[in-house]
Chain A
Amino acid sequence: MLPEKRLLTPDDMKLWEESPTRAHFTKFIIDLAESVKGHENSQYKEPISESINSMMNLLSQIKDITQKHPVIKDADSSRFGKVEFRDFYDEVSRNSRKILRSEFPSLTDEQLEQLSIYLDESWGNKRRIDYGSGHELNFMCLLYGLYSYGIFNLSNDSTNLVLKVFIEYLKIMRILETKYWLEPAGSHGVWGLDDYHFLPFLFGAFQLTTHKHLKPISIHNNELVEMFAHRYLYFGCIAFINKVKSSASLRWHSPMLDDISGVKTWSKVAEGMIKMYKAEVLSKLPIMQHFYFSEFLPCPDGVSPPRGHIHDGTDKDDECNFEGHVHTTWGDCCGIKLPSAIAATEMNKKHHKPIPFD
């Protein structure tokens, strides 16, 4: 049985929220976060284990694929996601099982089959050319799956799963976001944290919990942000936002981050990020209706039967006209095109604003 999307209704969500699967997965995220308390990005654990190196090699292969598909069509005219992202996606999808096998030879064929869908869906939606916290979640499910299958040992690998693996994943995503102008999936506009990611803020807050001098309010100091962008995930995200948004300040375009900067301690921010992730990602039907259940993420009993199609990389995946598909929660499913800030920034560089006329 291949991984399947199962969550369709608010009742399904209740079953999911009370399930051991969600509890175990949440604990996995929290364990990773706890493991980077007080760590800078460069303070990963050494020696780096073989399994972490294998995962880094896997990500290196993905990164190589990003170099193979330059933007050609509509390079200067389209404000929306570049269609060449689909070529990248297709190549990852065609090769994902092979890549996993080459890096983790001990995995069985069935295990590869279970894992590969999460690898495919870690980079964005092929049809909509967008990316959001649901795709980030898929990547964490991939790591969780590898942990479930005995590849990662959390007592040894958890710090490096964040400081090596997740950071490399984030670097690759920034390449994809910047290169293909990926649209934000399910954007809350100014009422979200970021256009694309959630977990760098969560892991980043944990990194900072023991810091003696940096405070949550420090994100408003541009010099500090630049100084610490490469040392702490949270400041790296702030630097990225400052770079791609055209408006005056965080207060203007990112009120949630501004609000959080008023919290007194990073411990409180870290604690709040866990609560927020549970509520805004793991408990939101628009995101969770795209969640894949699998052998290592078993679906709770009583949840709606699987939808008729299995992920097979065809264009019909995520079609919204499938019988039984939730249409009352359009949100993330029926994507509303929103040009990314990256696209807007690039367009501004290329064209002068027309002179207003009255």
Chain B
Amino acid sequence: MMDLDKIIASLRDGKHIPEETVFRLCLNSQELLMNEGNVTQVDTPVTICGDIHGQLHDLLTLFEKSGGVEKTRYIFLGDFVDRGFYSLESFLLLLCYKLRYPDRITLIRGNHETRQITKVYGFYDEVVRKYGNSNVWRYCCEVFDYLSLGAIINNSIFCVHGGLSPDMTTVDEIRTIDRKQEVPHEGAMCDLLWSDPEDVDTWSLSPRGAGFLFGKREVDQFLEKNNVELIARAHQLVMEGYKEMFDGGLVTVWSAPNYCYRCGNVAAVLKIDDDLNREYTIFEAVQAQNEVGNAIIPTKKSQMDYFL
């Protein structure tokens, strides 16, 4: 049996985790996640979190500002990896919390939780740099395929990474998707992870090249048909941390402050209480120096092969 608390402590400190340990964490996570539905049922009170993008120290700040996993229930809307320094530690920390407190952490898949995207946008590079091979990246990608596609809070709030799909009008239809695969380039599963809300009259082509743009009409139809009052999603940077649209029927929550260590934005999480009241907590990026003056920089690893 793994000592999760010890691993959690190492991860929080950004310390190296042996490859064998990562393998076992990923295997155990798969076994746990495969039993969850495409749309996970979650009870209030719960705190909804947006994109993390490997910003481990900001993830730790998020927990500190919002109560912590020992006392609070969380839904993470995906995009745990890519772009930041600590994609691996951020993702593994969330997996450990999932294993340690299965009923308190819900992890939804983002468009970055795929092989193709992580190969290009940093996670693969990070793993190869930290381990000298890509095995750990492969283990994590296996876990990605088991993440849920959405969550529903008290049957009243629908959570998803990107947004809606013209191919799926009900939550029950989402439950029929075979999700255990690489994110396809089109279709409902793709749309849930890639779509964006926009001031458009009807479904429109997304400039991202995947997913759709959807407007108020589509949101209102979805809310009414599924008898829910809010769609909570992430996927887009919001400089103010969160942004409500369509008369409060949809909210974008963004949880990576100073995104990519340079965008200068604040971040937010959204707490939903038992009466479905919304409370946004705003937080800023961790300073570049920790409290004892050491720069929060990954420890030196072997140099890139090109320069040996």
Binding site for B on A (CB under 8 A): 79, 127-128, 186-192, 244-249, 251-253, 255-256, 258-260, 262-263, 268-269, 271-273, 275-276, 279, 284, 286, 319-321, 327-339, 341, 344-345, 347-348, 353-354, 356-358
What distance in Å separates the Cβ of B185 from its nearest Cβ neighbour in chain A? Answer: 3
Give Cα A201 to B289, complex, Å. 28
Contact of A251 among B65, B121, B210, B295 (CB under 8 A): B295
Cβ–Cβ contact B120 & A186, under 8 A: yes
Q: Residues of A contacting B265 with CB < 8 Å? A: 344
Cβ–Cβ contact B258 & A347, under 8 A: no
Interface string of B203-214 (1 = CB under 8 A from A): 000011110000
Q: Residues of B contacting A191 with CB < 8 Å? A: 83, 122, 125-126, 129
Contact of A330 among B116, B283, B297, B305 (CB under 8 A): B116
Give Cα A279 to B239, complex, Å. 35
What distance in Å separates the Cβ of A74 from its nearest Cβ neighbour in chain B? Answer: 13
Interface class of chain A by DSSP: loop
Cβ–Cβ contact A246 & B258, under 8 A: yes
What distance in Å separates the Cβ of A105 from its nearest Cβ neighbour in chain B? Answer: 40
**B60 contacts the other chain (CB 8 A):** no
Closest 10 CB pairs of A and B: A189-B83, A327-B185, A334-B209, A331-B120, A320-B209, A272-B307, A248-B288, A272-B306, A344-B263, A191-B125
Cβ–Cβ contact B85 & A190, under 8 A: yes
Contact of B295 among A192, A249, A275, A321 (CB under 8 A): A249
A-B contact pairs, 22 of them (CB 8 A): A187-B83, A187-B260, A188-B83, A190-B85, A191-B126, A247-B288, A252-B288, A255-B297, A263-B303, A275-B306, A276-B304, A286-B120, A321-B209, A327-B186, A331-B120, A333-B209, A334-B209, A336-B208, A344-B264, A345-B264, A348-B264, A358-B282
Which single residue of chain B is at the shortest CB-CB distance from A251?
Answer: B297
Cβ–Cβ contact B264 & A347, under 8 A: yes
Contact of B297 among A192, A252, A256 (CB under 8 A): A252
Give Cα A95 to B262, complex, Å. 37
Q: Residues of B contacting A268 with CB < 8 Å? A: 307
* Contact A79 to B281, CB < 8 A, known contacts A260-B307, A334-B210: no
**B82 contacts the other chain (CB 8 A):** yes
Cβ–Cβ contact A127 & B207, under 8 A: yes
Interface string of B247-291 (1 = CB under 8 A from A): 000000000001111111110000000000000011110001100
Cβ–Cβ contact A330 & B288, under 8 A: no
What distance in Å separates the Cβ of B50 from its nearest Cβ neighbour in chain A? Answer: 15
Which single residue of chain A is at the shortest CB-CB distance from B268?
Answer: A356
Which single residue of chain B is at the shortest CB-CB distance from A216?
Answer: B307
Count CB-based A-B contacts (< 8 Å): 164
Q: Residues of A contacting B266 with CB < 8 Å? A: 353-354, 356
**B240 contacts the other chain (CB 8 A):** yes
Cβ–Cβ contact A320 & B210, under 8 A: yes
Interface string of B113-126 (1 = CB under 8 A from A): 01011011110011
What distance in Å separates the Cβ of A276 from its nearest Cβ neighbour in chain B? Answer: 4
Beyond known contacts A252-B297, A330-B116, A339-B237: 5 more, CB 8 A cutoff: A249-B295, A259-B304, A272-B307, A330-B120, A341-B262
Give Cα A188 to B83, complex, Å. 6
Give Cα A320 to B186, complex, Å. 11
* Contact A188 to B303, CB < 8 A, known contacts A248-B289, A353-B284: no
Which single residue of chain B is at the shortest CB-CB distance from A268?
Answer: B307
Q: Residues of A contacting B283 with CB < 8 Å? A: 356
* Contact A246 to B209, CB < 8 A, known contacts A252-B297, A272-B306, A276-B306: no
Which single residue of chain B is at the shortest CB-CB distance from A128?
Answer: B207
What distance in Å separates the Cβ of B188 from its nearest Cβ neighbour in chain A? Answer: 16
Give Cα A356 to B64, complex, Å. 14
Q: Residues of B contacting A245 with CB < 8 Å? A: 261-262
Cβ–Cβ contact A189 & B122, under 8 A: yes
What distance in Å separates the Cβ of A339 from its nearest Cβ neighbour in chain B? Answer: 6
Which single residue of chain B is at the shortest CB-CB distance from A353?
Answer: B266
**B102 contacts the other chain (CB 8 A):** no
Binding site for A on B (CB under 8 A): 53-54, 65, 82-85, 111, 114, 116-117, 119-122, 125-126, 129, 182, 185-186, 207-210, 236-237, 239-240, 258-266, 281-284, 288-289, 295-298, 300, 303-308
Cβ–Cβ contact A329 & B306, under 8 A: no
Which single residue of chain A is at the shortest CB-CB distance from B86?
Answer: A190
What distance in Å separates the Cβ of B299 from its nearest Cβ neighbour in chain A? Answer: 11
Q: Residues of A contacting B261 with CB < 8 Å? A: 190, 245-247, 252-253
Cβ–Cβ contact A79 & B239, under 8 A: yes
Give Cα A249 to B298, complex, Å. 14
Which single residue of chain A is at the shortest CB-CB distance from B307?
Answer: A272
Cβ–Cβ contact B262 & A331, under 8 A: no
* Contact A189 to B185, CB < 8 A, known contacts A248-B295, A333-B209, A334-B209: no
Give Cα A337 to B122, complex, Å. 15
* Contact A79 to B282, CB < 8 A, known contacts A272-B307, A347-B264, A358-B65: no
What distance in Å separates the Cβ of A254 from its nearest Cβ neighbour in chain B? Answer: 9
Give Cα A255 to B129, complex, Å. 11
Q: Residues of A contacting B209 with CB < 8 Å? A: 319-321, 330, 333-335
Cβ–Cβ contact A256 & B85, under 8 A: no
Cβ–Cβ contact A331 & B307, under 8 A: no
Q: Residues of A contacting B182 with CB < 8 Å? A: 328
Give Cα A332 to B121, complex, Å. 9
Give Cα A277 to B24, complex, Å. 36
Cβ–Cβ contact A188 & B262, under 8 A: no
Cβ–Cβ contact B264 & A262, under 8 A: no
Contact of B208 among A186, A259, A334, A357 (CB under 8 A): A334
Give Cα A321 to B190, complex, Å. 13
Q: Residues of B contacting A248 with CB < 8 Å? A: 288-289, 295
* Contact A246 to B264, CB < 8 A, known contacts A332-B120, A356-B283: yes
